[in-house]
Amino acid sequence: MDKRQHIAVVEDEATQRQMLLDYLSKQGFRVSGFEAGAGLRRLVERELPDVVLLDVGLPGEDGFAIARWLRERSSKVCIIMVTAATDTVDRVVGLETGADDYIPKPFDPRELLARVKSVLRRAGVSVIPTTAGRIRMGRRVLDLDKRVLVESDGSEETLSATEFDLLKVFAENPNRPLARDWLLETIGHREMEVFDRAMDLRITRIRRKVEKDPAHPEAIRTVRGVGYMFVPSKE
């Protein structure tokens, strides 16, 4: 699975959009480009990017409307608005709609990179560091090498291929809402498509194995209208 941080660029001017895609890709990010909000909406149905670089002056649905919609979907995604160079009103409105930062045109790509890194640091977006391939998942520890769950007394419980793959994906994407369809596509277990509720049933079984109280999950939480999110323990 691609662990690079994901930036979505919404810019209707093709040359500018391609410049940003090329530059950010060279800086080590996974980048997706869209000329309007419709493309971003389709992406968000599958997965939430870490950062959305959003031009204010889009044709049709403007950047403000898209930012409001995006913020309603998630408080986690970082939004950077691209505004006209001298329009202070745009900047104020952009921040009021839930944007994390703004950058006026024209801008130096190095300044953009600095702002991207800044919002990511503030959001705390990162992959969980592991110790000897082990990650705490609720009341148990996932051993990535052995593909088992480890109890506090050292006893181990084996996992099915699907269960392990799901837990591994969650561990690699902490605090990020993950859509059901995206999870299904990512783990690649096509037999699960037979049942509409197969993913929900699989999550229920996993919760029984990792949650202290499966009826009130703390580690693998439901995100209404999206899917599920792994929340690491603060202990």
The reply to whether 48 and 97 lie within a common domain is yes
Whether the pLDDT of residue 104 is over 70: the answer is yes
pLDDT in tens, 58-92: 888 888 889 888 888 887 889 998 887 555 555 56
Please state the pTM of the whole predicted model.
Answer: 0.52
Confidence at residue 171, expressed as pLDDT on a 0 to 100 scale: 86
pLDDT in tens, 187-225: 764 444 444 567 888 899 999 999 999 999 999 999 888
pLDDT in tens, 137-180: 999 999 988 889 999 888 999 998 889 889 988 887 788 888 88
The reply to whether 119 and 139 lie within a common domain is no
- Among 96, 123, 150, where does a domain finish? 123
Answer yes or no: is 88 within a domain: yes
Instruction: Report the range of poorest mean pLDDT among 95-109, 118-132, 191-205.
Output: 118-132
Confidence at residue 91, expressed as pLDDT on a 0 to 100 scale: 55
pLDDT band at 130 (very low <50, low <70, confident <90, very high): very low
Answer yes or no: is 58 within a domain: yes
- Four-residue CA torsion sign, 95, 99, 104, 110: positive
Domain coverage including residue 167:
134-230
Instruction: Report the range of poorest mean pLDDT among 88-97, 100-109, 187-196.
Output: 187-196
Answer yes or no: is 164 within a domain: yes
Cα 166 to Cα 176: distance, rounded to the nearest angstrom: 14
The CATH number of the domain holding residue 53 is 3.40.50.2300
Confidence at residue 211, expressed as pLDDT on a 0 to 100 scale: 95
Answer yes or no: is 63 within a domain: yes
Whether the pLDDT of residue 106 is over 70: the answer is yes
Residue that wins the pLDDT comparison between 127 and 107: 107
